[in-house]
Amino acid sequence: MGDERVKTEALKVINLFQVLPKLVVFDLDYTIWPFYCECRSKREMPSLYPHVKGILYALKDKGIDIAVASRSPTPDIAKTFLDKLGIHSMFVTQEIFSSWTHKTEHFQRIHRSTRIPYTDMLFFDDEDRNIKAINNMGATSILVENGVNQQAFQQGLMEFSQKSKASDKAGSSGKNKHK
């Protein structure tokens, strides 16, 4: 499936939901690409999972910000790869640093720089410990097994929407509503 076709499909999925996240955060290794950065050389040409670029473009087209949260011990390689793939500038913030905090520190920094509440964030990662930790912070978190794809993306938007509706019933408001 080409990037444009994936983008078109992702836009259709986005349009199914009235309540959307204000920020979608992606892990890197085994979430948007099929490798660990620290096992690669900056000289290599990296590749993304097949649906990732189309999904990123669909989010940007809908005005939904995107960010990176990665515990990579080689942020220089990760940033070089984002640049080589032509997606570096798509992210409003990139928190790429080694950590033992299950990405909680990454999300605290993302929140500080974007001012977006955790409850308005959707997060994709391949590690269950990160999913649990970030869920506990209030973000909707989706575990991916073979990278982000259309199915995981739709599941994420569905879970975000359901969580938002539940919190709206409990009296919160101010979600990112799109027509």
Domains and CATH numbers, the chain: 3-13+20-167 (3.40.50.1000)
The tokens describing 10, both together, are 């992702």
27 is catalytic: yes
61 is catalytic: no
Q: Is the pLDDT of residue 169 over 90?
A: no
Q: Which of 3, 29, 128, 168 is catalytic?
A: 29
Q: What are phi and psi of 143, to 5 degrees?
A: -85, 125
User: pTM score, two decimals?
Assistant: 0.92
> For the segment 23-59, what is each residue's pLDDT rounded down to a tens digit?
999 999 999 999 999 999 999 999 999 999 999 999 9
Q: Which pLDDT does position 2 carry in this prediction?
A: 79
Q: Which of 27, 65, 120, 125 is catalytic?
A: 27
Q: Which pLDDT does position 171 carry in this prediction?
A: 58
